[in-house]
Amino acid sequence: DGGITQSPKYLFRKEGQNVTLSCEQNLNHDAMYWYRQDPGQGLRLIYYSQIVNDFQKGDIAEGYSVSREKKESFPLTVTSAQKNPTAFYLCASKTEVPLTDTQYFGPGTRLTVL
Amino acid sequence: AQSVSQHNHHVILSEAASLELGCNYSYGGTVNLFWYVQYPGQHLQLLLKYFSGDPLVKGIKGFEAEFIKSKFSFNLRKPSVQWSDTAEYFCAVNPLLPSGTYKYIFGTGTRLKVLA
């Protein structure tokens, strides 16, 4: 079964703790993305990676970090520096050939910081 | 800066009513256009997309969208909605930037509720 998996589905953390969200894909896609979805604000890009060992900041990267050590994996760490971390986080991937191809999304992780 | 506007945040319709959701974008260059749908508890999935050619694009589940370049619009339509169309709909554009790369920009979404 090909697709994108995100774990866990729900995550609770105390304020001040770092937390890492998992994203794995077996679609052999080169590019991977992290978005944050808040009610009434749509999807906002946090980070993206077009190739292994390289990634770029999106529009709201402050307080987040990522790594891309393997093609299949693109974990997102929400650090204590992120002021409003409670949100729904979506991971996506796509091929780079062609550049215009569609993004495919994972099921998301809902993070609640208490 | 590039942006996408979805003017209707919440829409409530009765079954069999016609649907039109507005989407406008601000970018003067080459763009690719998408509509995504998020059913309750499900993944965000592609409804339809426009890259080039016929500006009237047909997607899954009877949806269609028309690209009007002069109006920077890509409105989503369905002649007769069903209860199962209850979902959140996102318009997205993928402009070709001067750097030669593409960047996805999403609208804020429209929540559609269809009453049985």
Query: Per-residue confidence of chain B (116 residues) as pLDDT tens digits?
Result: 778 999 889 999 999 999 999 999 998 788 889 999 999 988 899 999 998 899 999 999 999 999 999 999 999 999 999 999 999 999 999 877 776 667 789 999 999 999 98
**Under an 8 A CB cutoff, do B108 and A42 touch?**
yes
- Return d(Cα A25, Cα B23) in angstroms, integer: 30
User: What is the amino acid identity at position B83?
Assistant: W
Chains A, B: CB pairs < 8 Å: 40
The answer to whether the beta carbons of residues A4 and A27 sit under 8 Å apart is yes
Which residues, including other chains, have CB under 8 Å from residue B84's CB and lie 6 or more apart?
Answer: B114
The number of helix segments (H) and strand segments (E) in chain B equals: 0, 12
Q: Which residues of B touch A92 (CB under 8 A)?
A: 44
Q: Which residues of A touch B88 (CB under 8 A)?
A: none
Cis ω on the peptide bond leading into residue A8 (within 30° of 0)? yes
